[in-house]
Structure 1
Amino acid sequence: AQCRARLEESRRMRLASLDLWPEEPHLDNSYTPWPSAGPINCVRRFVLGLRHDDDHLEQIADIVQQACSTRVAA
């Protein structure tokens, strides 16, 4: 239950972050967090966040598999 609640919280936060954007975002406003990254604007920053989320999917699948295995064994 805690894991599902945390995943739902994460989803709500990601969706809520879109509401922070103005109607017409300043796409030319960017920053360079480290030299090899190149400039990052709001769209790229958001996509990097989604990519970070995606990086965790395999980890979440492993946790679900472990939880299911524990339930079967118990």
Structure 2
Amino acid sequence: DLIPRLLVVDPMKRMTIPEIRQHPWFQVHLPRYLAVPPPDTLQQAKKIDEEILQEVVNRGFDREQLIASLRSRVQNEV
């Protein structure tokens, strides 16, 4: 039933991307890079590892600037 639901003309009735990703057909033999990580993995990825943070601070970087850069997900010299 995936293809017919994708081809629905009315966008309000058409499947959404999250619905497509949850469909059993989409999850069979799914390449790893397309797999949806479990919610706890996403939360874990947002946590800052204090031990690693301290290692970087020990190398001369400012702790607050590091935390701000990590939280804003900005790629910079920090």
Structure-1-length-normalised TM-score: 0.30
Question: For the pair shown, which has the larger CA radius of gyration, 1 or 2?
Answer: 2
Structure-2-length-normalised TM-score: 0.29
Q: Which has the higher helix share?
A: 1
